[in-house]
Amino acid sequence: MSDWKTVDDFAKGIDGNRLPRSSALVGRTWTVRHDDGGEVTLSFTDESTVDWSAGDVKATDRYEAVEGAPGTFFVSFVFAGTPRESAVLVADLDSRRTLSVESTIAETKTDGVPQVSQVFRPGVLDTGDGVGPKGEAPAPTRDLIGWRALYRYSPNHLYEHVYLSSERYAWQCLVGEQHGHGDVDLATAYKIAENRYVFTFREFRIPVATTWLYDLDAMRTTGVFFGLNGQGEIRNAPGGAHIIPLGRVSYPEDQPV
């Protein structure tokens, strides 16, 4: 479609219903130990600056923290040294469990493959108080399959999502710059805690991926879009929505992947 919108077109104002930035992490030092063996230490010096180290690599970068659900933080990072990479850390302070989502924009587009890829790294959170993890680790989930809902990001942004399988979801824009547009894109969902999920998608048509925290008790989302605009410039755009459930279908016999 020649009129297909870019991230600059649709993202303006899409943070209208986003929860506010939190200052709760200022002065704290966290160590995140990934289940795959990696480890990162984060020292939050103010509301937007973090000193971090991972092995021999150290840097100071920008972050934003939002308490996307009570006791569960959505922390997004941008890296000055590697601008085509970004990360989101979802940390649950009660369970001391974490999920890191690392997104990378490929230098070139490959037909049939989203240009922005994502890697998922469950882990545990060490806040320095000696409290260890409890409960189940974040894991891929099928809980959203068959669910259908509206997402109101602002008065000018309304989207419908249908969760088709463990690998894909369908969307269409009902109000906004993308009105009349829709597609089926690659998607991944992880369960963090009861009624709390991380949902991500990677678009085929434009170089954009997203990471979201769903709080289904409050029916709120907190997330970020990461990708390229129409001029090839890197964009990292925050978003947030109220969820309006529309219902669910169930499959009596054969199931989606």
pLDDT tens track for 127-178: 999 999 999 999 999 999 999 999 999 999 999 999 999 999 999 999 989 9
pLDDT recorded at residue 123: 98
Radius of gyration of the chain (CA): 18
Residue 18 sits at the vertex; the CA angle it makes with 29 and 190, to the nearest 5 degrees, is: 65
User: Which residues make beta-bridge pairs with 3?
Assistant: none
Give the residue-averaged pLDDT of 198-225: 98
Residue 257 counted as domain residue = no
C-alpha closest to that of 97 among 119, 128, 75, 122: 122
Residue 76 counted as domain residue = yes
Q: Domain of 42?
A: 7-248
pLDDT recorded at residue 38: 92
Give the residue-averaged pLDDT of 236-253: 96
pLDDT tens track for 188-206: 999 999 999 999 999 999 9
Strand 196-202 and strand 97-105: the pairing is unpaired
pLDDT band at 1 (very low <50, low <70, confident <90, very high): very low
Alpha helices in 112-233 (DSSP H): none
Residue 73 counted as domain residue = yes
Residue 253 counted as domain residue = no
Share of the chain above pLDDT 70, in %: 99
Count: domains in the chain: 1
3-state secondary structure of 78: strand
Residue 162 counted as domain residue = yes
Residue 139 counted as domain residue = yes
Task: For residue 124, give both structure tokens.
Answer: 């545990």
Residue 27 counted as domain residue = yes
pLDDT recorded at residue 8: 85
Residue 34 counted as domain residue = yes
Mean pLDDT over the full length of the chain: 96
pLDDT recorded at residue 6: 85
C-alpha closest to that of 9 among 200, 239, 229: 229
Share of the chain above pLDDT 90, in %: 93
